[in-house]
Each structure stands twice: as structure tokens, then as C-alpha cells.
Chains A and B, each alone.
Chain A
Amino acid sequence: MLICEQVHAGYGNVRVLHGISFAVQAGKVVALIGANGAGKTTAMRAISGLIGPDQGSIMLDRQPIHHLEAARIAHLGLAHVPEGRHVFAPLTVEDNLLLGAYGWLPRLFGFRRKAAQEMDRVMQLFPKLAERRRQLAGTLSGGEQQMLAIGRAIMARPKVMLLDEPSMGLAPVIVQEVFSIIRRLKDQGMTLLLVEQFASHALAVADYAYVLERGRIVVQGYPEELMKNEQVVTAYLG
């Protein structure tokens, strides 16, 4: 579904990714783990088009996307839940969700009716958001904002969803909740690429995982294998 081949990327003169290759099959959850500064977020940003990769190819559903801008890639069915959530703070929860579906909703009128079914689905998944429907997103707690960011991505009906550090800055209870949501998305057949610093959490839901170190993939394998790999255990699971 999503294939990265020898992707190099960075910011300005700083190269962060030195040719990483990986693949996410349809319906699978793939985890990208690694320490701070390993290039996980950069990889996500390169895939979703927030930064243009310098080299390499990225294919979404057999279509090259590495030369496209973020908005185009979103229309092709990629939803990126960015690190730090990035909800639209001055807009209501409902508006945030509606904008998640910007790609397929009518732009002027009738969008509320069209989005109703998707909206109900999200509200069922996140009852908290239903309660806070008319509240401004900026007034939500960190955990609620994370739920909103994920809900917004679900609204897009994506082919692939990228989740960047969904547990960042959240209380342990909320982290549990977030991961139970991720598991539910997985059960519903969502294709997911998950970036996490808490490797144990990520490996618990993933079907396959890649370990990123200083911009290169150093180890890859099934979670069971990685959890036996001494290097990985001491560096990320210890």
C-alpha cells in the first residue's frame, strides 16, 4: 500500500534520512521505532509531503507521491496525524472533524449532512468528542486533542494513516486509551504506519517493525523477533 524506496530527506543543509526503505501492506500496522532524533518524524513528514524528499521514491497504492505537495497527497488517501497533534485550536471540535473530510466533502453547502455518517462513527469511537462538539479545540486537554487529531484523520476515509508519537506528553492512562483505539482501528482493517518512542507499546500492536537509527534502518522484523533481539531490547525496550 505504502512503499518507500531509498528515501533521503532533511531540512536546509541538514540531511536527516540517508536512504530508508520500508513498506506497509494493506490492512497491516507497521511501527517505526527509534530514539529521539533518529529521523522518525522526518520520515513521516517526507511521506505526507510536508517536506520534499531529496531522493528516492514513495508510492501510495502504486502511485508515486514523492513529488506532490501535502494537499495533493491527502486527496490521494493519506492521512497524517502529526506529532504534537496540530488540531485547529480556534475552531470547534466539529469543525476540526469536518475539515478532516475536506478532501471528499462538498465545499459550500450540504457538507454537514454528507459527513453525518462518518461523524457518528468518530463520535462513537470517541464519546468525549461528542460531549465537546461545540467547544474550541484549543480548550481540550492533551488527550482529547490527540483523540480529535485521530478522529480528524478517520474522517478523511484514508487508505493509509500515519500516526506520529500518539502518546507524546500524555498521562499513562490516556496512553492506554490511545493504544486501545489504535487496536480498534487495526481490527477495522485500517492500514497504519505508527511512529513511537515507547517501543514496547508500538511493538504490542504492530504486525511488523523497523528500527531507525541516525537516519538509517538498522533492524527490521516481526515484533516477536525484535523483542528477542538483544540490541533492540537494550536500546529501546530496557
Chain B
Amino acid sequence: MNRTMILQMIVSGALMGQVYALIAYGFQLTYATSKSINFGQGELVMLSAFFSLTLINWGIAYPLVVVGGLLFGAVLGLFVERAGVRLALEQKSEGWILLTIILGLFGFSTAENIWGRDDRPFPTPISSDPIHIFGIGITPLEVSVILGVFAVMGLIEGFKRYTLLGKAFAALAADRDAAGLMGISATRTIMLSYALSGFVSAMAGILIAPITTVGPTMASTLILKAFSVAVVAGLDSGFGVVITGLVLGAIESLTSFFLGSGWREAPGLLLLILALAVRPTGLFGKTTIRKV
């Protein structure tokens, strides 16, 4: 047991944690505009991964597969908004919770029917032969995960900060009535936020699929951890989810090494419970998460 090995696990874990962060970021996007989140987001991750796999099997070039997968995710996000969330929001009810869960289940059985129940490998041109830096092995695949996560989050954060449409997101989050008076349509902005959260989910699916394989259940534990990250970090801090993702990923990989892989999911859940008990606004957050 040496230091390098522990470092190795921390690094690989932290990299994986960025995928949780990315999905958690998807929660934040829709929460900001509509105070709702898509509980079926894990299924969006999975469906987008399956769709991308299909594109690969059709022999489409990898960059185009990524673009196609991301667009598919955005369309799914729009579908969830239109078919579920909007109906609940129009009645000012919390029905979106149940509706998004149901749409998720629907997505799950659709995937089982189209692509079957088996886990399948997701071929990618990105190599998984580790490169050694200071004795720590990092695969280009892992690097692609972190680059992909940062690229997408950077793009969306830039959009929110430097375009007027993006500023309207913040305005809507800050004061819904006043935003309406400025001519900012809540409906359209919420649609956009759902499209973006679908886009983000698809990115998570495409990035993680080569590492975990693709199957209907690929996202079920992923989403739980993303949820922990979102709750721990708070629902309004993009920076918070990145840090929390890093930490949770690292703790997880250490736990599974020292206590056995059966304990892998424990830290995430423990963190979730702790966060809800001690600081429901999240470490980095301002908004209180309502307990429903």
C-alpha cells in the first residue's frame, strides 16, 4: 500500500465525480428558472447514451455522434418540460415531482423495449491506455471526461453571463414578476433551461458510457450521487457542484478500496443525509431546498 496508489484512486475518483457534478448542474439549470427539477434526468442520460450508441453502430463519425447525442438530449429535455413539468407549473402544483418520475420510468421501459436489458460496450476512438504522470496513470478517456464536463459547463456559464438571454435566466430566478414586466417569457425561458439540462445530461451519458458501458440501469446510481452533489453543493452554485463532485468521487473510490466495493454508494448517501440534516441550503447555496 503506497502513496501513489492512494493518489491514483483519488484522481480517478475525482474525475468520475465530475460526471456527478455535470448531472447536478443539470438540476441547477432547471431549478434556477422554474424551481423544479427533472427526477427522470438519469433516464435522459441513459437514453442519450443509447441513442449515441445507435448512431455509432450506424457508422457515423464520432464527432457527429456527439453532436447528435447532445441534440437528442436537448429534445428529450424539451419533451419532459412540455409533457410533464409545464402542466404542473401552470397549476402552481408540485406535480412535476411525480410527473418527471413517471416520464423517467416511461423512458426506462422504452429503452428496455428498443435496446434490450443487457449492458453494452460503447466504442470510442479515445484511447483508454493510461499515460503516467508522476506515477499516476490517467487515461485519455478520463481526460476526455473532465474536458467534456468543463467545456459544457463553461459554455453554459458563459452563455448565462455574457448574453442577454442568459442574463434573463438570472432575472427570472431572482424575480419572476419583474422578469415578466421586462418582457421575459417565463414559459420560453423554462423551456430553454430544460433543453439545456437535457443537453447536459446527454453529455454526461456520452462521457461516462465508454467507462461504465450502456444499459437501462446505467444511470440509476449515477443520478443518486448527482442528487447528493446537488444537495450538498446547493441548487444555485455551479462552482459548488464541481468541488463537491471532486470530493465525493475521491471519497467514493477510497471507500470502495478500503471497505470493499459494496460500500461504494455509501458515502454519497451519507453525505446526502448529513447535508439535509445539517445544512439544507447546501454548502455553497443560498436557496433553501423545500422538503416535500
The residues of A with any CB-CB pair to B shorter than 8 Å are 48-50, 69-72, 74-75, 79-80, 82, 86-91, 95, 98-100, 102-103, 105-109, 111, 152, 156
Per the 8 Å Cβ criterion, residues 164-194 of B in contact with A are 164-165, 167-168, 170-171, 174-175, 177-186
**What's the minimum C-beta distance from A138 to chain B, rounded to whole angstroms?**
9
- In the complex, A152 Cα to B167 Cα: how many Å? 14
- In the complex, A49 Cα to B186 Cα: how many Å? 13
Chain A to chain B contacts (Cβ below 8 Å), 10 pairs = A70-B180, A71-B184, A72-B185, A90-B174, A99-B164, A99-B167, A105-B164, A108-B163, A108-B164, A108-B165
- Given A50-B180, A98-B164, check contact A71 B171 (CB 8 Å): no
Partner of B177, one of A82, A90, A109: A82
Instruction: Let me know if B170 and A91 touch, CB within 8 A.
Output: yes
Chain B count of residues within 8 A CB distance of the other chain: 19
> Counting chain B CB atoms within 10 Å of each CB, which of A71, A75, A152 scores highest?
A71
Interface of B is mostly: helix
- In the complex, A108 Cα to B184 Cα: how many Å? 14
Instruction: Let me know if B178 and A102 touch, CB within 8 A.
Output: no
Measured between beta carbons, the chain A residues less than 8 angstroms from B177 are 50, 70, 82, 86
Instruction: Let me know if A90 and B165 touch, CB within 8 A.
Output: no
Measured between beta carbons, the chain A residues less than 8 angstroms from B185 are 69, 71-72
- In the complex, A49 Cα to B180 Cα: how many Å? 9
A-B contact count (CB 8 A): 81
Interface of A is mostly: loop
Measured between beta carbons, the chain A residues less than 8 angstroms from B163 are 107-109, 111
**What's the minimum C-beta distance from A100 to chain B, rounded to whole angstroms?**
6
Measured between beta carbons, the chain B residues less than 8 angstroms from A50 are 177, 180-181
**What's the minimum C-beta distance from A147 to chain B, rounded to whole angstroms?**
16
Measured between beta carbons, the chain B residues less than 8 angstroms from A69 are 180, 185
**What's the minimum C-beta distance from A209 to chain B, rounded to whole angstroms?**
24
Instruction: Let me know if B180 and A102 touch, CB within 8 A.
Output: no
Instruction: Let me know if A98 and B167 touch, CB within 8 A.
Output: yes
Partner of A87, one of B178, B180, B186: B178
Instruction: Let me know if B178 and A107 touch, CB within 8 A.
Output: no
Instruction: Let me know if B170 and A102 touch, CB within 8 A.
Output: no
- Given A48-B181, A74-B183, A99-B184, check contact A107 B174 (CB 8 Å): no
- In the complex, A103 Cα to B182 Cα: how many Å? 7
Instruction: Let me know if A107 and B186 touch, CB within 8 A.
Output: no
Assuming A71-B183, A95-B170, A156-B183, what are 5 further A-B pairs, CB within 8 angstroms?
A: A70-B177, A72-B183, A75-B183, A82-B178, A88-B175
